[in-house]
Structure 1
Amino acid sequence: MLPLPDSVPPPRDVAFGGTIRLAVDATDLARHILSVHETVPVPASLAASGGDLTLLYPMWVPGDHSPTGTLDQFGGLVVKAGGVPVDWVRDSVTVSAFHVPVPKGTHELDVSFQLLSPVSPAEGRVVMTPAMLNVQWNAVSLYPAGYFTRRIDVQADLRLPHGWQYGTALRAHGAQGDTVAFDPVPYNTLVDSPLFAGRYFRRIDLAPGAAVPVTLNLVADKPAELAATDAQIGAHRALVAQAGLLYGSHHYDHYDFLLALTDELGGIGLEHHRSSENSGPRGYFTDWDKTFAARDLLAHEYTHSWNGKYRRPADLWAPNFNTPQRGSGLWVYEGQTQYWGYVLAARAGLMTQAQVIDALAEVAALYDTRRGRTWRPLQDTTNDPVIARRAPLSWRSWQRSEDYYSEGQLVWLDADTLIRQLSGGKRSLDDFARHFFGTHDGSFVTSTYGFADLVQALNDIQPYDWASFLRRRLDRTSTHAPLDGFTRAGYRLAYTDRPNDFMTSYEALRHVADFSYSVGFVVGKGGTLSNVEWGSPAWQAGVTRDAQLVAVNGEAYDPAVLKDAITEARDPHAAPIALLLKEGDRYVTIAVSYHGGLRYPHLERLPGTPDLLAGILAPRH
């Protein structure tokens, strides 16, 4: 067997020396191509002797928790020294590394390439449309191996389509025509500061008069989608205020929400230290009463500035963007963030308490009926970003996916209500959040932690055997989700034939019809079954995902027809529900024996108990 080639230089906590100059041209909207030019200084020692300089394309993007760098879209690499092309060589093991033989006496390299971004969703996430674009600096830059990214300085310029406006956490020091020159920043800060730009743009101040500004930057497919009312803006301002009351600190000198209201730009929900990077439905403002299922998103991403970006599990911190990360603490990083996302959305008025309670009912039902929990513990799902990378799964309810998000949310509701119970209502998870995430007000420096640190912080708030409490919920398999938090809060999970309002909003946003808790599947666009629940009546009958539901009991499918058929089959003597399915080029009729009627999850009050959820979701003053 041939030996492996020399390894890529490991990152060291030393200054790179010099500033990389990065210029990106984002004007080729028709072909979806971003053109890049970099001027990379050569370290003095290497310039004196000549030799190998390794340039890396970022692969481990913070927040994705897996190597999601768009290396497949990278093309046209040309490297020149003194105007003369240099024959670079790609590393045959670390294929995101490019070895450049630097001639002796060379003090800088000229590097150019293109990001050949997707022209349709079939090729990946679309980042350029006729009305907007999303520049992620990790996708349009190379950086030198051998250094912590915080020790590499970069000055970036961006050429935008004429007349477009932009939002980003970066700050500019000038512009020439349509080219914006941003202030020099460390490379890790650049990568953590994506940009949205658009033909239709609006900027809203969410913290008027505050010493630390917070801004909502909006881009949209159509200008009418930017028409937020004063009350809607007020709810977003209340989010900033409620987060401040919760954490008692901030870890940014300014914060920029980036929100694209679009059907064309690819969907995204990514956290950053001083910004969000999100897409939402076109009717986010204009169909306010119908789109509330999307309105915990900004609260979730904002919380990440404290939980995930500032306080971070130690194995999710890395010195550069090509060092593998491990996600053992994602049940805190994402799970508690999911919890606060719902809580802050309610406290701010982005969602009503009733809407959040319906959302929690759906979460409880989803994970209480997830069969995969009988073989795969929650802790193991923190490996899923690397295992599956959010690819479609044949049997998600059995395989499990990134369940640390919402089952993690249930664990933290469990902890919150237990703290409240043990302390006689004097303390809560709010106190933990301030104690754990609110340290070193104003500091941008990431503060890492391990499991023992987390347990100690919980004990600081309320003495208890928190280590055992958490490990039982993380490491053991079970037949039911951790629902004790609802019981302590004065609620129980129940099912009725009345639709859950949160699910109705979610169905409209995603263009699906959810029958998970009755026959056991979700129907998407064109009648395609996007999910079939393992062990459900449909699964037992042999129904699989990706089949197209053509007819129900001989009548062309639409959601109302299937609802009527399920209702009529409640008679225990009724015939099975006949589903005509198209599977590839074959048509099959499958009889589903189910007599339970329509079932939608709800949280019902337990008589004679205090309503802790009302207190948890109430705004702070």
Structure 2
Amino acid sequence: MPRTRLTAAACLAALMTAAPALAQDFQSTPVVVEARDAALALPRPQPAIPAPADRPYPGVIQYRADITDLDRRIIRVSQTIPVAGPGPLTLLYPKYLPGNHAATGPIQLLAGLTVTANGQRLEWLRDTLDPYAFHLDVPAGVTAIEVAFEQLTQPDSSNWRVLMTPAMVNLQWEKAILYPAGYYSRQIQVAPSIRLPAGWSYGTALKTEGRDGDVARLETTDLYTLIDSPVFAGAHYRRVDIDPNGAPSESRVHLNLLADEEKGLAATEEQLKLYENMVQQADRLFGARHFDNYEFLFALTDQMGGIGLEHHRSSENTGAPGFFTDWAKSAGDRALLPHEYTHSWNGKFMRPADELTANHNVPTQNTLLWVYEGQTEYWGDVLAARSGLHSKGVALATLASIAAFYDNQPGRQWRALQDTNNHNLLGYRVPGQYPSWMRGTGDYYRESLLVWLDADTLIRAETDGRKSLDDFARAFFGHSAGSWTPQGYTFDQVVAALNAVHPHDWAGFLRDRLDAVGPDARAPLAGIERGGWRLTYTDTPNADEKAVNGGWANDFQYSLGFSLSGDKLANIRWGGPAFEQGIGAGWSLVAVNGKAGSAEVLRDAVTAAKGTDAPLELLIKSGDRFRTVAFDYHDGLRYPRLERIEGTPDWLSDILAPRRR
């Protein structure tokens, strides 16, 4: 059939008179439309999405989740949503997820959406500009609609995090719920229930109203609190009280453990005591609590997707299956729970004002993530040390690793720390190639930690130890004991609170570090030296440094400028020796100085070349191409270490020491 040229009017007429035949013609022979005559799209009228208003939604949404289809990894949801009367109604799927700081709601995994009223199906129309919104018309005489759909969770974490395994499920309400537009989240009431696999238990900050067999009925609460109260459910479960001070009538803190196998739950009394210490040290730091109960949800698994996500009265966390049973190997990972616990104060009770949105489809702004995440990262590491979860050696090794990365990071030549706060909005935690040049999510966590260490040591030095950042934490985050109502903070309020502790040009101090960019910009390492230590490098890491840097044996970042992942050259440092040799991602190590290549062989060769003129030749391969690369490098292996500066005040050791009251 010859190619046909039709006007837009002719195309429309053909569609109206012979749609089935023309559809088949489209599959075999394209129809070309003159661009000057064709409309880009045929507009389809649709209602506007109502803006959220601070008014109560009429009635209570009945929400039912079935998480029993483990083999097919399907979460089935049904909702009964009361309506005030006939007319247009828009349902929203949460788009901006708390703690993600971006539009990450996985609506791509919602399927089978069906809406009925009085037994009759109601057709819905997805908004053509905002695919998270569904429009429908409620007929007269309808008092409630029934909504049903599936959340198709994934079998692996290549695209989306795994939420369902044979032994556990992470039910995150915001990924499996629809709610009416036009209302603040805290003004919509929801009565949730869960159908569990037979014999399973669960942990959540929500109270249980009752359990009928395998159906658990949870307390009626507002949508905001529901979304902030996820569930970890599983076949192997243990709940432990880790609150050393609270009486039964007071707020309590619990550790909810789940595991792939029962043996993973075997935390010892000595290990649990360290978590009691963490709770006690947090009390001494902040001086007040803003929850009635706090539930750590902690899954020891290599099957469910990894997570560390904060909530006001709980947190979602994962660790290795042997986190407790092979305790020594978890040394570098024990700051996760202190970090997420700190978020109950910084990020949940007190949070950046531009993240206090009316509902979960109003865009978030991230201008103060260097406080939200950066200071939380600081206190998480400090609490890990003060509680004993980190030894002092591990704490120093962790700080050395962070300092070395930023001391060797060229990305600040073009991108300021402040701009990395926008990284999630550019692409949720996408590292991309050359992370040392691109900069990203980790920077507003870890580089900001160095900024807060700088502030802490400055206060201590200028007040001769009478004041510290602890005083800021107690005043800024620890006020209004017992209140749960989130409060927003601004840059000016942070500066004012710092000045209340110790007068200084804090606005200039912070902006200098947040906005520094260009060839002369440097990592904010002043806090380490003011704290009585300096960053150095060693060719032989100690046990603590090996525990923190689990990949140390494959790490050549500060020598040749790359690391090895198997035989692949990875994490090529921008401007480093490998980069200057024209090496990028995708090359494999074949040989070193004529010997079959491996991390061990490469370490030996780098060591042998130290202080000599000995050659260091790498044979590398990409596809069917081979290259021999000669490195003029003779400084040996280099791993970061903090070294004490003798004769100076040791403020850093004071910071890491436990508080006695």
Partner of residue 18, structure 2: none
The equivalent position to 1:173 in structure 2, one of 196, 206, 209, is 209
* CA–CA separation in structure 2 for the residues paired with 1:7 and 1:67: 20
Equivalent AA in structure 1 for residue 64 of structure 2: A
1:328 equivalent in alignment to 2:364: no
Partner of residue 12, structure 1: 53
Shift of 1:575: 1.4
8 Å Cα contact 1:577/1:593 also seen in 2? no
* CA–CA separation in structure 2 for the residues paired with 1:142 and 1:617: 45
Partner of residue 396, structure 2: 357
**Paired residue secondary structure (1:535):** coil
8 Å Cα contact 2:295/2:313 also seen in 1? yes
Cα deviations by residue, 1:393-424 (Å, 9 ceiling, x for unpaired): 11110010121100000000000000111111
* Within-5 A mapping of 1:417-566: 417-477=457-517, 478-499=520-541, 501-508=543-550, 513-524=554-565, 526-566=566-606
Q: Structure 1 residues 289 and 17, CA, compared in 2 at 3 Å: closer, same or farther?
A: same
Shift of 1:499: 1.6
Q: Structure 1 residues 226 and 555, CA, compared in 2 at 3 Å: closer, same or farther?
A: farther
Partner of residue 186, structure 2: 150
1:286 equivalent in alignment to 2:325: yes
Partner of residue 38, structure 1: 79
* CA–CA separation in structure 2 for the residues paired with 1:52 and 1:91: 13
* CA–CA separation in structure 1 for the residues paired with 2:68 and 2:625: 46
Cα deviations by residue, 1:365-407 (Å, 9 ceiling, x for unpaired): 1011110011111000000011131123111100101211000
Q: Structure 1 residues 174 and 420, CA, compared in 2 at 3 Å: closer, same or farther?
A: same
Shift of 1:439: 1.1
* CA–CA separation in structure 1 for the residues paired with 2:542 and 2:343: 28
8 Å Cα contact 1:207/1:215 also seen in 2? yes
Cα deviations by residue, 1:446-474 (Å, 9 ceiling, x for unpaired): 11011111110000000111010000001
Partner of residue 108, structure 1: 144
Partner of residue 608, structure 2: 568
Partner of residue 108, structure 2: 72
8 Å Cα contact 2:531/2:650 also seen in 1? yes
Q: Structure 1 residues 591 and 282, CA, compared in 2 at 3 Å: closer, same or farther?
A: farther
* CA–CA separation in structure 2 for the residues paired with 1:94 and 1:441: 40
Partner of residue 618, structure 1: 657
The equivalent position to 1:125 in structure 2, one of 150, 154, 161, is 161
Partner of residue 302, structure 2: 263
Partner of residue 60, structure 1: 96
* CA–CA separation in structure 1 for the residues paired with 2:509 and 2:473: 18
The range that moved more, 479-488 or 63-72, is: 479-488
Equivalent AA in structure 2 for residue 7 of structure 1: A
Task: Quote the RMSD (CA, aligned, Å).
Answer: 1.6
* CA–CA separation in structure 2 for the residues paired with 1:96 and 1:319: 16
* CA–CA separation in structure 2 for the residues paired with 1:579 and 1:298: 43
Shift of 1:579: 3.7
8 Å Cα contact 2:394/2:547 also seen in 1? no
Shift of 1:224: 1.4
8 Å Cα contact 2:553/2:599 also seen in 1? no
1:28 equivalent in alignment to 2:66: no
Partner of residue 371, structure 1: 410
**TM-score computed with the length of structure 2 as normaliser:** 0.90
Q: Percent identity between the aligned chains?
A: 50
8 Å Cα contact 2:431/2:440 also seen in 1? no
8 Å Cα contact 1:217/1:256 also seen in 2? yes
Q: Structure 1 residues 82 and 451, CA, compared in 2 at 3 Å: closer, same or farther?
A: same
Structure 2 residue runs without a partner (length 5+): 1-39
**TM-score computed with the length of structure 1 as normaliser:** 0.96
Structure 1 residue runs without a partner (length 5+): none
Equivalent AA in structure 1 for residue 82 of structure 2: P
Equivalent AA in structure 2 for residue 515 of structure 1: F
Shift of 1:353: 1.0
Partner of residue 634, structure 2: 595
8 Å Cα contact 1:369/1:480 also seen in 2? no
* CA–CA separation in structure 1 for the residues paired with 2:571 and 2:51: 43
Shift of 1:338: 0.4
Equivalent AA in structure 2 for residue 324 of structure 1: P
8 Å Cα contact 1:358/1:501 also seen in 2? no
* CA–CA separation in structure 1 for the residues paired with 2:555 and 2:604: 14
Q: Structure 1 residues 122 and 586, CA, compared in 2 at 3 Å: closer, same or farther?
A: farther
8 Å Cα contact 2:546/2:552 also seen in 1? no
Shift of 1:571: 3.9
Cα deviations by residue, 1:502-539 (Å, 9 ceiling, x for unpaired): 5522443x798222111111222x33334111011111
Shift of 1:616: 0.5
Number of residue pairs aligned between Structure 1 and Structure 2: 613
**Paired residue secondary structure (2:500):** helix
Cα deviations by residue, 1:63-121 (Å, 9 ceiling, x for unpaired): 00001111111100000011111110000001000001111121100000000011122
Equivalent AA in structure 1 for residue 562 of structure 2: F
Partner of residue 313, structure 1: 352
8 Å Cα contact 2:460/2:468 also seen in 1? yes
* Within-5 A mapping of 1:239-254: 239-254=278-293
* CA–CA separation in structure 1 for the residues paired with 2:624 and 2:528: 47
8 Å Cα contact 2:394/2:548 also seen in 1? no
Cα deviations by residue, 1:329-356 (Å, 9 ceiling, x for unpaired): 0000000000001100000000011110
* CA–CA separation in structure 2 for the residues paired with 1:202 and 1:589: 56
Q: Structure 1 residues 315 and 171, CA, compared in 2 at 3 Å: closer, same or farther?
A: same
8 Å Cα contact 1:565/1:577 also seen in 2? no
Partner of residue 84, structure 1: 120
Partner of residue 174, structure 2: 138
Equivalent AA in structure 1 for residue 610 of structure 2: R
Partner of residue 224, structure 2: 188
Shift of 1:556: 3.6
* CA–CA separation in structure 2 for the residues paired with 1:112 and 1:31: 18
* CA–CA separation in structure 2 for the residues paired with 1:506 and 1:162: 40
**Paired residue secondary structure (1:305):** coil
8 Å Cα contact 2:290/2:484 also seen in 1? yes
Q: Structure 1 residues 52 and 548, CA, compared in 2 at 3 Å: closer, same or farther?
A: farther
**Paired residue secondary structure (2:429):** coil
Q: Structure 1 residues 197 and 179, CA, compared in 2 at 3 Å: closer, same or farther?
A: same
8 Å Cα contact 2:457/2:531 also seen in 1? yes
Equivalent AA in structure 2 for residue 497 of structure 1: D
* CA–CA separation in structure 2 for the residues paired with 1:594 and 1:388: 37
1:390 equivalent in alignment to 2:432: no
Partner of residue 414, structure 1: 454
Shift of 1:570: 1.6
Q: Structure 1 residues 5 and 549, CA, compared in 2 at 3 Å: closer, same or farther?
A: farther
Cα deviations by residue, 1:544-577 (Å, 9 ceiling, x for unpaired): 2243334433434432222112112224412133
Structure of larger gyration radius: 2
